[in-house]
Structure 1
Amino acid sequence: MSDAIKHECGLAYIRLLKPFTYYRQKYGSSFYALNKLYLLMEKQHNRGQDGAGVATVKLNTEPGYQFMHRMRLNGAGAIARIFQDIHGQVAELETAHPEISNHPGLLKGYLPFMGEVLLGHLRYGTQGKNDVNFCHPFIKSDINPTRNLMMAGNFNLVNTEDILSKVQPDITTPAGSDLGAMIETIHHFLKKEDAKNPAALDVENILRESTSLFDGGYVCSGLIGNGDSFVMRDPNGIRPAFFYKNDEVVVVASERPAIMTTFNVSIEDVHELKPGHAIIVDASGNFRHTEILAPRAYTACSFERIYFSRGSDADIYKERMQLGRNLAGSVLRKLNNDLKNTIVSFIPNTAETAFYGLIKGLEDYLKDIKLQRILTKGAEMTPEEMSELISRRVRIEKLAIKDVKMRTFITEDASRDEMVQHVYDITYGTVQKGVDTLVVIDDSIVRGTTLRQSIIKMLDRLGPKKIIIVSSAPQIRYPDCYGIDMSKMGDFIAFQAAIGLLKDTGMEHVIQDTYDACKAAQQNGTLHQENFVKAIYASFTDEEISHKIASMLKDSQVHADVEIIYQTLEGLHDACPHNKGDWYFTGNYPTQGGNRVSNRAFINYIEKTTSRGY
């Protein structure tokens, strides 16, 4: 994605089902669980680089000994720094007691993170708060061991104020945090349940009562002081979660390939956590995958398939390939089928798989042309004509290269803009000036800032006749509120284009009418019932908006014609048939809280407020 956006976090959960001595004897290491947690987190590092945290619970500790431990760090390289710290603790202990690694029971007593239940988290700060205090896991402490709770998750809630007003907790976690509201709520019902039956917590009931209040997309995990633990997914399955279980371990992660690689298991061994379900493992190691809330329409986030999840997942690789292939027809129409004078490339590297799919689609067209030509002319073709026909290929070049991160030390706007242009560099000598058309595929176009300020200007320096930017995602029109940091309406180039078209066509009253509808709904408490912002786009076709976007992205200094091709919704659903969450493209939110966020974001845009819509 050329426009970098922050997105949902990553989760890693491990529950050992055997004593530490078992793993020492079978795998030759007392640190089996810690090693696996590190791998799980590193294999998901794409999901969060603002910070990381780990937590453990030790089972069957003597009264008076600490049984819950946590470490959090913010900033780049947080995963490595956390585990370097843990390794340092191990090295110090082994220096003092060289044989202690052969005695897992003793290690458990000395090392804070030698626990049977482990939780890891990778954070992207969707709220823009990268202070270490906002890094997961959070802790709710209590003098009663059973009432201690640590939690981490991958989510956004859109009704935190409503939740907290209903449970009225004794708030000790960071204010303004979604996880703060979540852990306060679950802890509230944990205390109620413990008061009823301290000998055996009903974790299912705790989750059922608390999560029924949540509006959002979430996968959350909790470690309870008595040794019980859980991972739960929202009823729409918006955020991803996968699990693996054998007689040695229970594992949950946000990414399926992370589990497959870390534990060397096949794709058939890893299962999806069902929407509205929770994995619960009690203090004795009993496992349940049980329904907590009735599943709703399955609207898993399609952006996971387009961009966010690791492309090493077998299904995601195929889907991204198909996203590119589905664009081939639109590209050929823009080119008038002239592939001879066309160069195809991709930017950034995460668009590479979709690029391969686009190439395959274009090659299919060339194969049909070759077959038709042979069938038509047959033996009449000269050897030269046959050789020319056989040698036809889609022209592929590495046109743009992401350069080192450019930093601007001069404050004048002109100087800063000049530096921004050089975020990408180009490969010279690849283009026939004034003849070739460049087709460059991107994952998606959010704000268009990098395209306008850098990429298109740099490509234009090669002297092409035309530049066609192709997005493997449809037009992003609405804010996300379920884990991706796309919350400000005015940031979206598609929204800017629609507003521009309304003004160009003398329909500015639609902007005012939409604002009035939003404000009226806000006043009477019905902001959640309808997404009024859809009216902004209703008068224009996708092609009209794309054409307007192209004119906005073309700087006055650019000589080549510029056109934009977006994925269609039909193409998206064909390529990604199982992840049907498309609210950022359609405005069809899976929960009513999404409508409220969209309408608030529009109000903020009109009133020039920079805060989020939730």
Structure 2
Amino acid sequence: MCGILGLLLHDASVHAAPEICEGLSLLQHRGQDACGVITCGTKGRFYQCKANGMVRDIFDANSISRLLGGMGVGHVRYPTAGSFNNAEAQPFYVNSPYGIVFAHNGNLINTESLMQFMDQTAHRHINTASDSELLLNIFAYNLQQTGKFRINEEDIFTAIGGMMHQVKGAYACVAMLAGFGIIAFRDPNGIRPVGFATRKAGAGLDYIVASESVVADAGGFTDWQDVNPGEAIIITRNGISRRQIAGPSTFAPDIFEFVYFARPDSVIDGISVYRSRMAMGDALADKVQAVLQEANITVDVVIPVPDTSRVAALNLAQKLQVPYREGFIKNRYVGRTFIMPGQQMRKKNVRRKLNAMALEFADKNVLIVDDSIVRGTTSKEIIQMAKDVGAKKVIVASCAPPIRYPNVYGIDMPSRKELVAYGRDTDEIAAEIGADLVIFQTLPDLVNSVRQLQPSIESFDCSVFTGEYVTGGVDEEYLQHLETLRADNNRAKAMTMSLGALEGKGGGDANGLSEQQKADQANSSALPNGTDATVGLHNSWNTQA
């Protein structure tokens, strides 16, 4: 669940980097592992800075000042299976043909066959385990097939069409061609979000492409439009061209965007995330009321797990006519625990992130509302915190149904054994996390909560609840492969962190940067001085590996 951003300013003398970094900070909720920006200046030169870490840590005034040029691409990374080291920070770059910068949100499911194609047919080297680099090279290979010294928009649309025919999975992408412009496209099922907007700039327009509309709103851009499933857009200083590349397919945006990942002030595919969560709360209230009556339990207070469940919890409380209270106080300097890599890190940070106020829990039957229950790690810690400060009964209500299947489209929950609902019924889930009762939203109610705001969308990707994957191509063999890959990745990351701790590299300085992050920045500083995009820039990238 990465965040992508592209910006093209009408005035080429104005540097795009400060606004790109500001936009990435608004997408930080989509990825905390790494971030990067590459800009394009005069004569097609690229300037880059990328490293492991948060936007606020990597991009200071000095690093931003070195990112020259009036257009650029940014990325915040959320690590998925096979992805963790600093060489996989995006955007990626290839120098052939033409100089291409690329950022990707999603996950491909046919990487093995694509890697064979790259090796045996395209003869292009893939340097990391990231399918984003693989996707970039497939796009570059298809562009190269034109055989032209200078390409036009028709050639780009043709190359994207060839790429979409080859790859399977979820992808929302933004690319930049040296001295040409910004390109964005979306997979034929529209699983991952991306859109664009414009802003008046003198006699012309500035253009922004982003994962969520909130970035455009904050920058003063208007007329936000989603990139359609299977569509590609090309933005230059002469204007914008749009073309439907892929044929008809099932439009199925990921419903988990609305449940958890997206900011409430964003609009995705014409659906207000905020209003969808209000509707989830209303629907969940009916289910909670029925279950509590059957169990002969009354609740004294409704308390949300901050932040994503607040909207739903407030609507639920109003409908049940039960007091709504903020019982958990959040430390805003700890990141989102769900997207933290590693079970131990997530568990360790729950109590650092939240503190329960005894005033709201003591001697009460408490209904805790959460957006979803995934691994159960956070829920278990939260329930224990509530009981530690005197709650009599703790009932948990989830805005989402039980998550029993892995996500293969870019969310880091591929191992079925990590899912608390896998192989368990509702009572067993409650026992596992220590709740007196667990109440789940039904899938029809969840889908209706989102779909009622945009009835033209007939289906959503609900594979984490149903095990039905809209792209096809996901079988038991693939799931086993993905789980093995993730286990290997976790072991490698744990070893790296252990070695770093032994060598004294695990801590951060007063500015929040660890020694490794400083090294990453040092490696990336070779490019901000300017490197021609046509002369093998990737050798500088390899110094990070």
Structure 1 residues 462 and 182, CA gap change in structure 2 (3 angstroms): same
Deviation sequence 1:83-130 (CA, Å, 0-9, x none):
5233454xxxxxxxxxxxxxxxxxxxxxxx332331111111113633
Please tell me whether the aligned partners of residues 83 and 129 of structure 2 are also in contact (alpha carbons under 8 angstroms): no
Aligned residue number for residue 221 of structure 1:
174
Residue aligning to 1:257: 214
Detail structure 1 runs of 4+ shifted over 6 Å in the superposition: 337-340, 415-421
Give 1:42 deviation, angstroms. 1.6
Q: Distance in 2 between matches of 1:197 and 1:418?
A: 54
User: How does 1:70-81 map onto structure 2 within 5 Å?
Assistant: 70-75=48-53, 77-79=54-56, 81=58
Name the residue aligned to 1:428: 358
Matched with 1:308 is 261
Given that 2:122 and 2:141 are in contact with CA atoms closer than 8 Å, whether structure 1 keeps it comes out as: yes
Question: Is the contact made by 1:477 and 1:494 (CA closer than 8 Å) also made in structure 2?
Answer: yes
Aligned to 1:332: 289
Alpha-carbon shift at residue 335 of structure 1 (Å):
2.6
Query: Match of 2:115, SS?
Result: helix
Deviations 1:273-301 (A, max 9, x none): 1110011135x634211111124111101
Match of 2:251 among 298, 302, 325: 298
177-186 vs 222-231, greater mean Cα deviation: 222-231
- The AA in structure 1 aligned to 2:115 is L
Amino acid paired to 2:73:
L
Matched, 1:471 2:398: yes
Distance 1:149 1:323, change over 3 A: same
SS in 2 for 1:37: helix
Question: Which of structures 1 and 2 has the bigger CA Rg?
Answer: 1
Aligned to 2:2: 9
| Distance in 1 (alpha carbons) for counterparts of 2:469 and 2:326 | 38
Tell me the amino acid that sits aligned with residue 173 of structure 2. Answer: C
User: What's the counterpart of residue 149 of structure 1?
Assistant: 100
- The reply to whether residue 347 of structure 1 matches residue 227 of structure 2 is no
Once the two structures are superposed, residues 527-579 of structure 1 have per-residue CA deviations (whole angstroms, 9 ceiling, x without a partner) of: xxxxxxxxxxxxxxxxxx1122112222xxxxxx7110011011111111147
- Return the offset for 1:78: 3.5
| Secondary structure of the corresponding residue to residue 349 of structure 1 | coil
1:120 aligns to what? 74
Of all paired residues, the percent bearing the same amino acid is 26
CA–CA distance in 2 between the matches of 1:396 and 1:235? 42
Q: Deviations over 1:477-505 (max 9, x none)?
A: 111111111111111111141xxxxxxxx
User: Contact 2:81–2:485 at 8 Å: present in 1 too?
Assistant: no
| Cα deviation code 1:115-167 (max 9, x no counterpart) | 2331111111113633221011111124xxx5322111111111112123234
Aligned to 2:376: 448
Summarize the Cα distance change of 1:491–1:281 in structure 2 as closer, same or farther, 3 Å threshold. Answer: same
The within-5 A match list for 1:12-23 is 12-20=5-13
Q: In structure 1, how many angstroms separate the alpha carbons of the residues matched to 2:347 and 2:232?
A: 52
* Mapped partners of 2:413, 2:106: distance in 1: 13
Match of residue 47 from structure 1: 30
Hey, what does 1:107 align to over in structure 2? Answer: none
State the one-letter code of the partner of 1:259.
A
Which among 13, 23, 45 is matched to residue 67 of structure 1?
Answer: 45
Q: How does 1:352-371 map to 2 (within 5 A)?
A: 352-363=310-321
How does 1:404-419 map onto structure 2 within 5 Å? none
Indicate the RMSD between aligned Cα atoms, in angstroms: 3.0
Give the Cα–Cα distance (whole angstroms) in 1 for the partners of residues 276 and 170 of structure 2: 22
User: Where does the alignment leave 5 or more consecutive residues of structure 2 unmatched?
Assistant: 336-343, 452-456, 490-545
Separation in 1 of the partners of 2:382 and 2:448?
Answer: 29
Partner of 1:370: none
Conservation of the 8 A alpha-carbon contact between 1:41 and 1:79: no
Which amino acid is 1:427 matched to? Answer: M
Q: Tell me whether 326-335 or 301-310 shows the greater mean CA deviation.
A: 326-335
Change in Cα spacing, 1:52 to 1:420, as seen in structure 2 (3 Å) is closer
State the alpha-carbon separation in 2 of the partners of residues 85 and 589 from structure 1.
45
Q: 1:431 Cα deviation (Å)?
A: 4.7
- How high is the TM-score relative to the length of structure 2? 0.78
Equivalent pairs, count: 462
* Residue type at the aligned position of 1:125: P
3-state DSSP of counterpart to 1:357:
helix
1:310, CA displacement in angstroms? 0.7
Q: Per the alignment, do residues 552 and 576 of structure 1 end up closer, same or farther by CA in structure 2, a change over 3 Å counting?
A: same
CA distance, structure 2, for counterparts of residue 608 and residue 220 of structure 1: 24
The residue number in structure 1 matching 2:419 is 492
Q: Please say if residues 236 and 295 of structure 1, whose CA atoms lie closer than 8 Å, have aligned partners that are also in contact.
A: no
Deviates more, 1:347-356 or 1:163-172: 163-172
Match of 1:85 in 2: 62
Residue number in structure 2 paired with 1:158: 109
SS in 2 for 1:212: helix
- Counterparts of 1:376-387 in structure 2 under 5 Å? none
Q: CA deviation at 1:225?
A: 2.9
- The 1:174/1:603 distance shift into structure 2, 3 A limit, reads closer
Alignment equivalent of 1:601, drawn from 479, 482, 487: 479
- In 1, Cα distance between the equivalents of 2:367 and 2:169? 38
Matched, 1:396 2:324: yes
Structure with more strand by fraction: 2
**CA–CA distance in structure 1, aligned partners of residues 77 and 463 of structure 2:** 23
Q: Does 1:198 align with 2:150?
A: yes
| Contact 2:36-2:49 within 8 A present in 1 as well | yes
**CA offset at residue 236 of structure 1?**
0.5
Cα distance 1:294–1:599, how it changes in 2: closer, same or farther (>3 A)? Answer: same
Question: Which SS does the other structure have where 2:219 is aligned?
Answer: helix
Distance in 2 (alpha carbons) for counterparts of 1:14 and 1:495? 42
Q: Which piece of structure 1 moves more, 173-182 or 46-55?
A: 173-182
Q: For 1:416 and 1:297, how far apart are their aligned partners in 2?
A: 37
What is the distance in 2 between the residues matched to 1:552 and 1:257? 37
What residue number does 2:429 align with?
Answer: 549
Cα separation, 1, equivalents of 2:346 and 2:48: 43
After TM superposition, give the deviation of residue 58 of structure 1 in Å.
Answer: 3.0
Q: What is the CA–CA distance in structure 1 between the aligned matches of 2:178 and 2:74, rounded to whole Å?
A: 17
CA contact (8 A) 1:155 1:482 kept: yes
Query: Within 1, Cα distance between the matches of 2:444 and 2:310?
Result: 21
**Matches of 2:136 and 2:328, distance apart in 1:** 45
Amino acid at match of 2:68: M
Q: What is the distance in 1 between the residues matched to 2:467 and 2:86?
A: 34
Letter of the 2:437 counterpart: E
CA distance in 2, matches of 1:416, 1:130: 15
CA distance, structure 2, for counterparts of residue 306 and residue 56 of structure 1: 33
Question: Could you tell me how far 1:173 is from its partner in structure 2?
Answer: 3.9
Asked whether the 8 Å contact 1:134–1:174 carries over to 2, the reply is: no
Query: CA distance change for structure 1 residues 405 and 317 in 2, over 3 Å: closer, same or farther?
Result: closer
Alignment partners' CA distance in 1, 2:103 and 2:12: 25
Partner SS state of residue 147, structure 1: coil
